[in-house]
Amino acid sequence: MDLTTTIAGLRLKNPVLTASGTFGFGLEFEDYGDLRELGGIVVKGLSLKPREGNPMPRLAETPCGMLNAIGIQNPGVECFLKEKLPRLPWRETAIIANLYACGVEEFGELAGVLSAEEGVAALEVNVSCPNVKEGGAAFGQDPVQIGRVTESVKRRAGSKPVIVKLSPNVTDITACARAAESAGADALSAVNTLLGMAVDARTRRPRLANVVGGLSGPAIKPVALRCVFQCVRAVGIPVIGLGGIASADDALEFLLVGATAIQVGTANFLRPDFAFGLARELPEALASAGASNLSEYRGGLILPD
């Protein structure tokens, strides 16, 4: 079955991407599969300068999910371009840079640096990280700010498609989706993590040093599906679905509500070869769901009259 997928002119060999922050720079997973089998890799969030991230502990396991408060620890865009990107099979697999910045101008500057690179296939704008005080969430919860950041990135992105990654921690995600689209976004990713918290009843302390963190994993899948469903109906640009995908059937569900492609996030922690397996299983899963091809199945949700 032909799984070729196009997002804003970007051609992917299949609709399976790995989500930012869960797959490193891809290189960490080379021993466990062939990176060229993936539709794309969205790398760890990049900032102009290296960031140390938040204090420990940064992770907590919760029922069918996990909380993280990493705080965009990353070696900076320069290190990525010099030391990581040249080692990635970017001619065969889409390498999508995830951008994090503290201000509108800084987002634009970062986009300018990344868009000059042949090996970067697209830019995913992180306006939705719940774990950093400035930037992230503050932008992601305000449609006006989402518009400004999108414009700033788009202005410096050259020919690279700009994907805006949305937060579910809002009253109306469609307002955010439309704001990004109006500002020129070529695609959306939905959703980032849900703001959550875990405490220890005995030590009387929060389980994360940051107190709150982002919830991910199968526990959030129903929320993510709903968000993708709403976004797909609100905008005309492609939507990449993510949030709790942990099987090929989960991926089908996102495609069915209209996602053009999907990202595998927390499930990469179930086992390091998970995303490779999902990409391999997808044709059979589609066939067993009675799909003759991917585009026929995509968006084919049958709603009650």
Active-site annotation holds for 227: no
Cα 146 to Cα 215: distance, rounded to the nearest angstrom: 22
Task: Report in angstroms how near the CB of residue 304 gets to another protein at its nearest.
Answer: 29
Cα 42 to Cα 221: distance, rounded to the nearest angstrom: 20
Tell me phi and psi for residue 91, to 5 degrees. -75, -25
Indicate whether 212 belongs to the interface with another protein (CB under 8 A). no
# residues near another protein by CB under 8 A: 33
Mark the segment that binds another protein (CB under 8 A) among 28-36, 132-140, 185-193, 291-299: 28-36
Indicate whether 118 belongs to the interface with another protein (CB under 8 A). no
Indicate whether 56 belongs to the interface with another protein (CB under 8 A). yes
Q: Which of residues 113 and 220 has its CB atom nearest to another protein in the complex?
A: 220
Q: Which of residues 130 and 217 has its CB atom nearest to another protein in the complex?
A: 217
Cα 50 to Cα 43: distance, rounded to the nearest angstrom: 15
What are the C-alpha distances in Å from 115 to residues 129, 190, 289? 22, 22, 39
Q: Which of residues 43 and 173 has its CB atom nearest to another protein in the complex?
A: 43
Annotated catalytic residue, options 64, 79, 129, 231: 129
Indicate whether 217 belongs to the interface with another protein (CB under 8 A). yes
Mark the segment that binds another protein (CB under 8 A) among 133-141, 158-166, 169-177, 265-273: 265-273
Q: Which of 8, 48, 59, 175 binds another protein (CB under 8 A)?
A: 59
Indicate whether 131 belongs to the interface with another protein (CB under 8 A). no
Residues that are catalytic: 129
Which residues contact another protein (rule: CB under 8 A)?
21-24, 28-29, 31-32, 44, 52-53, 56-59, 61, 63-66, 68, 70, 73, 217-218, 246, 266, 268-273
